[in-house]
Amino acid sequence: MRENRQTTEISQVGEFGLIEHLTSDIKPEHPTTLLGIGDDAAIIEAGEQSMVITTDMLIEGIHFDLSYTPLKHLGYKAVAVNLSDVYAMNANATQITVSIGISSRFAVEDIHDLYSGIKHACKVYKVDLVGGDTVASQSGLVISITALGRQSLKKIVKRSGAKENDLICVSGDLGSAYWGLKLLMREKEATRNAPELKPKFEGYEYLLERQLKPEPRKDIVRKLSEAGILPTAMIDISDGLSSEILHICKNSNKGCRIYDEKIPIHPQSTKLSNEFQIDPVVAALNGGEDYELLFTISPSDYEKVSQIRDISIIGHILPNPQQHEIVFRDGTTIPLMAQGWNAFRIDK
């Protein structure tokens, strides 16, 4: 019972503080567990190629809103966000399992739509759906997917390998998924009391797709391999650039310096940010759900990575683990703070 003991609100420690509190004393019992909790995926010894395993859960009302999210898109996205963690380990995704909790308001046809998106993602990324579970839910729709992948141990990339002077790179563009969400929420509110009005999405189709149907960057993993580049550290961007680079710094015991003018922003993001009067760099740093790859490479790989389309070099690694900073166009330098997605924050 809680009545006679002091308690701590989860919002005070946040998602990652809670995970650290719950798992700090967990130690692997089996020698085949090569890496447990603390990275994008666990690593399990499995012959010549090790196995990576990751799980993500999506909760209705927290991670998605079915008033503007088609079930087919949701199924695709649920797979995509899990595969992104596998690719962030520099591994090849091979299988998934799918578990869902379904409330009574859903019909068979609704779940068929959800699974059509799941199966389409499996086809696109060439992974096998090999099992799962289906249960009743009293709180809407719940989706939990476990993804598995394979890679030789020497080629698996963790968050902990960044070295002093390594270049910080990112794929694609950042902040687009955030702006897609802002647009969907704005138009939902605008049409709430006027259902005859049509949402105004024209000119922002790219942003909507980035929010509703993200694509994990399997192609970047392939391009890096073809160029002979093995990143020293890597993570996918699910919670915002600022949070993710700080994860790499913490795990690698290093600092970082990034430059705001180097952060890739899509023109549609810039356009919509002007409407909302929000700096697009703020959205890129803190928005999340881009599912791009953030990684570090040796300076000796500069020429190679410069030849790869859709990769931007945005900064470098510093030796001081307490020094995390962003440099603006006018030369101003400020500390880089983790202000990305926090599932337990109470002021969202």
* pLDDT tens per residue across span 256-313: 999 999 999 999 999 999 999 999 999 999 999 999 999 999 999 999 999 999 999 9
Comparing 38 with 287, the larger pLDDT belongs to 287
Tokens at 209, concatenated: 């797709």
Comparing 211 with 344, the larger pLDDT belongs to 211
Any idea where the domains of the chain sit in the sequence? 31-155, 167-335
Instruction: Tell me what pLDDT residue 267 has.
Output: 98
Count other C-beta atoms under 10 Å from residue 7's C-beta: 7
Element (H or E) spanning 14, and its range? helix 10-23
Crossing angle for the helix pair 71-87 and 218-226, to the nearest 10 degrees: 30
Instruction: Tell me what pLDDT residue 47 has.
Output: 87
Ramachandran area for residue 184 (φ above 0: left; ψ -120 to 50: alpha; else beta) = alpha
The rounded Cα 189 to chain-centroid distance in angstroms is: 27
The model's pLDDT over 112-150, given as tens digits with 9 standing for 90+, comes to 999 999 999 999 999 999 999 999 998 899 999 999 999
DSSP string, 169-195: EEES-SSHHHHHHHHHHHHHHHTTT-T
Instruction: Tell me what pLDDT residue 44 has.
Output: 95
3-state secondary structure of 263: coil
pLDDT at 1 over 60: no
Instruction: Tell me what pLDDT residue 23 has.
Output: 63
Tokens at 247, concatenated: 């994860």
- Could you give phi then psi for residue 324, rounded to 5 degrees? -130, 115
Q: Give the residue-averaged pLDDT of 223-247.
A: 97
pLDDT at 2 over 80: no
Lowest mean pLDDT, pick from 76-80, 156-160, 242-246, 339-343: 339-343
pLDDT at 12 over 70: no
Number of residues written out for the chain:
348
Residues 213 and 323 sit within 8 Å (Cβ to Cβ): no
196 falls in which pLDDT band (50, 70, 90)? confident
195 falls in which pLDDT band (50, 70, 90)? confident
Q: Comparing C-alpha atoms, which of 239, 278, 260 is closest to residue 332?
A: 260
* Second CATH level (architecture) for the domain 167-335: Alpha-Beta Complex (3.90)
Facing residues of 233 across strands? 296
Residues 51 and 148 sit within 8 Å (Cβ to Cβ): yes
Instruction: Tell me what pLDDT residue 198 has.
Output: 83
Instruction: Tell me what pLDDT residue 344 has.
Output: 38
Measure the N-to-C terminal CA separation of the chain; round to a whole number of Å.
Answer: 30
pTM comes to: 0.91
Instruction: Tell me what pLDDT residue 263 has.
Output: 98
Instruction: Tell me what pLDDT residue 347 has.
Output: 47
The model's pLDDT over 161-184, given as tens digits with 9 standing for 90+, comes to 999 999 999 999 999 999 999 999
Residue carrying the six token digits 């990305």: 340
35 falls in which pLDDT band (50, 70, 90)? confident
Say what percent of the chain tops pLDDT 90. 80
Spell out the SS3 assignment of 301-335.
HHHHHHCCCCEEEEEEEECCCCCEEEECCCCCEEE
- Could you give phi then psi for residue 93, rounded to 5 degrees? -70, 140
Instruction: Tell me what pLDDT residue 341 has.
Output: 45
| CA 245/CA 325 separation, integer angstroms | 11
Strands (E), 19-140: 33-35, 42-44, 50-59, 92-102, 128-136
Instruction: Tell me what pLDDT residue 343 has.
Output: 44
CATH code of 31-155, in short, is: 3.30.1330.10
3-state secondary structure of 93: strand
Count other C-beta atoms under 10 Å from residue 106's C-beta: 17
The model's pLDDT over 41-62, given as tens digits with 9 standing for 90+, comes to 999 999 889 999 999 999 999 9
Count other C-beta atoms under 10 Å from residue 119's C-beta: 16
Residues 255 and 319 sit within 8 Å (Cβ to Cβ): yes
